[in-house]
Every structure is written in structure tokens, then in C-alpha cells.
Amino acid sequence: MLTVRRLRVGEGQLFRQLRLAALYEAPYAFASTYQSALDRSPESWDEQADGTAQGSERATFIAFADELPVGIAALYRCPADAKAGELLQVWVDPVYRHTEVARNLLDAVFQWARAHGFGSVFATITEGNARALAFYRKHGFEVAGEFPSQGEGILLRKQV
């Protein structure tokens, strides 16, 4: 059974596990590196996880196939625009790609975004990542102009 829920306070190890899996499996898709993530302290993982587990500024969602964590997605409010959020850390275990996991993660992010006053969601994908571009376009994102924060790659925007 597939479920998606917000990360909970105290789940820093779960967050670390999924983030390391994503960085290891798809290093081309993220600005962070696997090695830099390995070098982080346990406290930094706990602090980041707890910060996204509560409040209305940022949230991380985890997808589970039964009890197994198989995907992650996060939304952080943009400092320059309180009505905009940046979609980050989107990853699905390769075994669960081409299933409902990614769509369900995005649905959870968008539902949370609407409930917390976001008007739009931005995502940046790596140049040349045609699969990601097609996926985001399928889910209502359009290529955007100026990004509210710094980043490289293709900038996408979706109204929520």
C-alpha cells in the first residue's frame, strides 16, 4: 500500500537515509553531493528534519510502499516572496518510478502549499534532464523566467 505523509519531529535518521539514497543514486539531479551529505553531523540532520516537520515555512514529505520509505519531496518558502515556494529534494527509488509515488508526493506538496498560503511553486531541474522536465510539465509546471532565489538549471513554475 502506498502512503505519503509529512516528515515527523524526531525522524532525522529517516530523512538522512532517503537523502543519502537520492544523492547516491542520482548525483546529477542535485546541487548537493553525496560526500558533503555524509560529512554532516547527526545533529544537523535532526535539526533540518525537525524544521521541516512542523510549521508553515517548509515541509518534507515521505512516500512509503507499505513500511518501506521510497520517495521524498520538500517545499521551502522563498525568502524573497512569501507566496512562493521552492520544490526541493524530489526523488523516488528507481524500483518505484513509473508508479504513483512521484505524483502522490507532488499532490501532498501542493495540498500543503495551498493550505499554507503559497500561490506558486518553483522547481529547478538540471539542464539535460529530459525525463524530469517531462514529468514536471505533465504535472502543470511551465518554464519560468526569473527565479526568486539563486540556482542553476531550468526553472519551472506552477500556480497552486
Q: Which residues pair with 2 in a beta bridge?
A: 65
First to last CA, the chain: 27
For CA atoms 17, 22, 27, 29, give the dihedral sign.
Answer: negative
Q: Return the pLDDT at 3.
A: 97
- The count of other CB atoms within 10 Å of the CB of residue 92 is 23
Cell readout for 65 is: 510502499
- The count of other CB atoms within 10 Å of the CB of residue 123 is 26
CATH of the domain at 118: 3.40.630.30
Q: Are the C-beta atoms of residues 52 and 7 closer than 8 Å to each other? A: yes
Does residue 13 have a pLDDT over 80? yes
The string of pLDDT tens digits covering residues 26-80 is 998 888 999 999 999 999 999 999 999 999 999 999 999 999 999 999 999 999 9
pTM of the complete model: 0.92
* Cα–Cα distance measured from residue 55 to residue 159, given in angstroms and rounded to the nearest whole number: 21
Q: Return the pLDDT at 131.
A: 87
The string of pLDDT tens digits covering residues 122-149 is 999 887 788 889 999 999 999 986 444 5
Does residue 92 have a pLDDT over 60? yes
Q: Which domain holds residue 13?
A: 2-159
* Cα–Cα distance measured from residue 139 to residue 15, given in angstroms and rounded to the nearest whole number: 25
* Cα–Cα distance measured from residue 56 to residue 150, given in angstroms and rounded to the nearest whole number: 22
Q: Return the pLDDT at 145.
A: 60
The string of pLDDT tens digits covering residues 100-128 is 999 999 999 999 999 999 999 999 988 77
Task: Work out how many domains the chain is built from and give that number.
Answer: 1
* Helix, strand, or coil (residue 154): strand
* Cα–Cα distance measured from residue 109 to residue 116, given in angstroms and rounded to the nearest whole number: 11
Q: Return the pLDDT at 47.
A: 97
Quick one: pLDDT band at residue 152, thresholds 50, 70, 90? low
